[in-house]
Amino acid sequence: MAQPENRFDSPRLLADIGGTYARFAIEVAPGVFEHTVSLLCADYPDFHSAVSSYLSKLKVGTIKNSAVAMANPVAGDLVQMTNYHWRFSIEQMRERLQFDNLMVVNDFTALAMALPSLLPQQRRQVGGGAPVARSVVGLIGAGSGLGVSGLIPADDGWIALGTEGGHTSFSPHDETEVWILQYAWRHFPHVSFERLLSGPGIELVYRALAERAGVDAQAFTAPDITLRATQGSDPICVATIEAFCAMLGTAAANLAVTQGAFGGIYIGGGIVPRLGTLFDQSKFRERFEDKGRFSEYMKAIPTYVITASDATFVGASVILAAQLRGMESAQGSAILTQVQRARAQLSPAEQRVADHVLAHPHSAMNDPIAQIARAAEVSQPTVIRFCRSLGCEGLSDFKLRLASGLTGTMPITHTQVTSEDSMLELGVKVLSNTASAILQVRDHLNREAIERAVQLIAAAQRVEFYAVGHYGNVADDAQFKFLRVGVSSAAYTIPQLQGLAANLLHPGVVAVVISSSGRVAELLDVVEKARAHGAAVVAITASQSPLARKSDVALIVDHQEDIATQMPMVSRILHLLMIDILVVGVTLRRGAHSLPLLGVADTAALDEVRPDLLPAAAKRTSPGVSTAGTLAHLSSHSRGTPGFQTP
């Protein structure tokens, strides 16, 4: 047990989520796990309810940091399980659970990171071979699916590979496996190794071998088949597990030669460790070494079964600890270091603000000044004085510096254009302001809101765009683009006509209301009429505005701009970007039949997102420039550590 001085300031929640079970544990010190529980996923409608149920039964104090290993690829904010229906936004889940940090990684990426710390008694070698120090290590394992990962040595650490190698095409080795493949082809157009080397795969192989033997297949589950095989009570079940072990040998051998895994191949997952000596005596190792001219090559590579029950927790803990260290030492986190150093020189009231920021940096970055003041038990002017004591112009400037440290992204800044600027300075400011605003909107995109808006418009009989003033051009542009992709649409930019048109709205029509402030009385009247007549309302507007609150779906465009001294240069571009996102999204959802109607700029944007949907005629169009294509390109840059994704 770790000594008290090694315990974390706050306990950490770790989770290992598969297609059948969700395992949870509380890490109170490095490698010390308490309250380990395994819950049946089917008992909970979603991930949040499972976590809440687990935590509600504990008294462990406030949890600030959590790492979740899930049996699915993790790329971006939206998590969609491959072999189960749970689906959620990482950032929204973090906010609902009130964590400072919620990190979600692929389960085999986490398991891979545990391999270097496994003790000899936490693994069992099958066959010969010896590992080569500081060499690539491979990982494969069967459970609800087939996980594949690996470790690459880097400096004094390791880089975990996030892969979906279980979906490589299955390759049969003998006539029995050819029969199994042909049987599987009747049910699936593509047969991957995962189709056969998994719980559902064992059941499929059993049915195939029962048919080959001319006997009726029983309604056995994978655990039923495994139990009968270990007991030797059913010859078809025995043959099924024998075939499973041999096919796993092929998959592991392919992984070994692909990676050059002289550090060894490790076997995890929930199935193999339960087979015990039956696996050791199977044809796994024989098949692993059966590589023709490369047999000697394969004999040198050791294979191990992971026997440690908490290995995935260990790996998730390693990744979370590395992520937290990286956040603490990031160059952009200098503002937090500055807060720590300056704390002693601050007034008692300002020290309370400092303590709140240090304890809840993510909340301080997102909360309004009133909420920060309440949390720190000070007045709002005290919060401003605290920011200025650190050399910041105010709370907004402080939040920008804090955001840079916590997210690792470039700070979002806005520089006001003045009459004293030269033409070069004016150009630089306009372009810089626009680029910064685009990045800010990109970092706050709400995937679910975009998906819902696209759903509504794609299914609509007609879509109408409403805007006034400078934003009338955005509505006109939207009408033009949606007409080009075959969507019946209209734009209304004159207040007198807007009221008349809104009276004719009905179910099946979507009204898209565009407003920078979200407070224009005429547009709010349009929304009221639309809702009264059963039409859906999509708003492109500022957060916390009356328009955002009244709409069915709000696409948030927050920006910093003084419209009293200049035309809304940046905000109009941001609203145009939202229109482009909707156009491309609706086009993809409606299918390739609408693509010939696209224009030059739109096909260029779509080619960047889904080139496979573009017809040949569209691909021959001269390349153009699209704001949607620009946003897609900006969003494509990953900010995570290799091998896993952070929120």
- What is the rounded average pLDDT of the residues 574-580? 91
Given a cut of 80, whether residue 639 has pLDDT beyond it is no
Q: Which domains does the chain have, with CATH numbers?
A: 4-106 (3.30.420.40), 120-307 (3.40.367.20), 330-407 (1.10.10.10), 441-635 (3.40.50.10490)
- d(C-alpha 299, C-alpha 591), whole Å: 51
What DSSP string describes 239-252?
A: HHHHHHHHHHHHHH
- d(C-alpha 456, C-alpha 449), whole Å: 11
Buried b / exposed e over 335-364, threshold 16 CB at 10 Å, is bbeebeebeeebeebbbbbbebbebbbbbb
- Would you state the pLDDT for residue 440? 66
pLDDT tier for residue 155 given thresholds of 50, 70 and 90:
confident
The CA-CA-CA angle for residues 534, 540, 531, to 5°, reads: 15
- Would you state the pLDDT for residue 159? 85
- What is the rounded average pLDDT of the residues 546-575? 75
- Would you state the pLDDT for residue 433? 65
Which range (10-24, 59-73, 240-254) has the least confidence? 59-73
Average per-residue pLDDT for the chain: 83
List Cβ<8 Å contacts ≥24 apart for 376-382: 376/352, 377/352, 378/349, 378/350, 378/352, 378/353, 379/349, 382/349, 382/350, 382/353
Residue 283 backbone phi and psi in degrees, to 5:
-90, 15
Q: What percent of the chain has pLDDT over 90?
A: 53
Taking each helix axis from N to C end, the angle separating 311-329 and 107-114, rounded to the nearest 10 degrees, works out to 90
Q: What is the pLDDT of residues 587-610, one digit of tens each?
A: 888 774 444 444 444 444 444 444
Given a cut of 50, whether residue 256 has pLDDT beyond it is yes
Residue 265 backbone phi and psi in degrees, to 5:
-110, 125
- d(C-alpha 393, C-alpha 390), whole Å: 9
Backbone torsion region of residue 591, taken as left when φ is above 0, otherwise alpha when ψ lies between -120 and 50, otherwise beta: left
- What is the rounded average pLDDT of the residues 197-201? 95
* CA atoms lying within 13 Å on the CB side of residue 514: 29
pLDDT tier for residue 446 given thresholds of 50, 70 and 90:
confident
Answer yes or no: are the C-beta atoms of 569 and 437 closer than 8 Å: no
Which range (34-48, 126-140, 433-447) has the least confidence? 433-447
- What is the rounded average pLDDT of the residues 146-157? 87
- What is the rounded average pLDDT of the residues 559-581? 71
- d(C-alpha 467, C-alpha 423), whole Å: 31
pLDDT tier for residue 51 given thresholds of 50, 70 and 90:
very high
**Host H or E run for residue 213:** helix 199-213
pLDDT tier for residue 388 given thresholds of 50, 70 and 90:
confident
- Would you state the pLDDT for residue 4? 47
- What is the rounded average pLDDT of the residues 197-225? 95
Answer yes or no: are the C-beta atoms of 162 and 643 closer than 8 Å: yes
Given a cut of 90, whether residue 199 has pLDDT beyond it is yes
pLDDT tier for residue 392 given thresholds of 50, 70 and 90:
confident
Which range (34-48, 211-225, 439-453) has the least confidence? 439-453
Q: Give the pair of three-digit tokens for residue 514.
A: 């565009």
pLDDT tier for residue 1 given thresholds of 50, 70 and 90:
very low
pLDDT tier for residue 13 given thresholds of 50, 70 and 90:
very high
- Would you state the pLDDT for residue 316? 93
- Would you state the pLDDT for residue 391? 79
- d(C-alpha 572, C-alpha 122), whole Å: 60
249 vs 549, residue with greater confidence: 249
- d(C-alpha 483, C-alpha 481), whole Å: 5
5 vs 389, residue with greater confidence: 389
Question: How many beta carbons lie within 10 A of that of residue 205, not counting itself?
Answer: 28
Answer yes or no: are the C-beta atoms of 211 and 247 closer than 8 Å: no
The helix/strand count (H/E) of the chain reads as: 29, 18
Given a cut of 60, whether residue 611 has pLDDT beyond it is no
For 314, 519, 528, 569, 579, the CA distances from 453, given in Å and listed in that order, are 41, 21, 19, 25, 11
pLDDT tier for residue 430 given thresholds of 50, 70 and 90:
low
Q: Give SS3 for 479.
A: helix
pLDDT tier for residue 342 given thresholds of 50, 70 and 90:
confident
Residue 416 backbone phi and psi in degrees, to 5:
-70, 135
Given a cut of 60, whether residue 563 has pLDDT beyond it is no
The CA-CA-CA angle for residues 511, 517, 539, to 5°, reads: 20
Tell me the one-letter amino acid at 410.
M
Given a cut of 50, whether residue 70 has pLDDT beyond it is yes
Given a cut of 80, whether residue 380 has pLDDT beyond it is yes
- Would you state the pLDDT for residue 561? 55
Beta bridge partners of 489: 463
Q: Give the pair of three-digit tokens for residue 208.
A: 């195939």
> Minimal CA–CA distance to 255: which of 264, 244, 245?
264
For the chain, the C-alpha Rg in angstroms (whole number) is: 29
- Would you state the pLDDT for residue 646? 32
Given a cut of 80, whether residue 362 has pLDDT beyond it is no
pLDDT tier for residue 622 given thresholds of 50, 70 and 90:
very low
- What is the rounded average pLDDT of the residues 533-546? 90
- d(C-alpha 583, C-alpha 571), whole Å: 19
For 19, 166, 184, 205, 462, the CA distances from 179, given in Å and listed in that order, are 28, 20, 9, 10, 53
Given a cut of 80, whether residue 438 has pLDDT beyond it is no
pTM > 0.75? no
Which range (410-414, 520-524, 533-537) has the least confidence? 410-414
Answer yes or no: are the C-beta atoms of 474 and 576 closer than 8 Å: yes
Given a cut of 60, whether residue 567 has pLDDT beyond it is no
> Minimal CA–CA distance to 252: which of 226, 300, 285?
285
Given a cut of 50, whether residue 638 has pLDDT beyond it is no
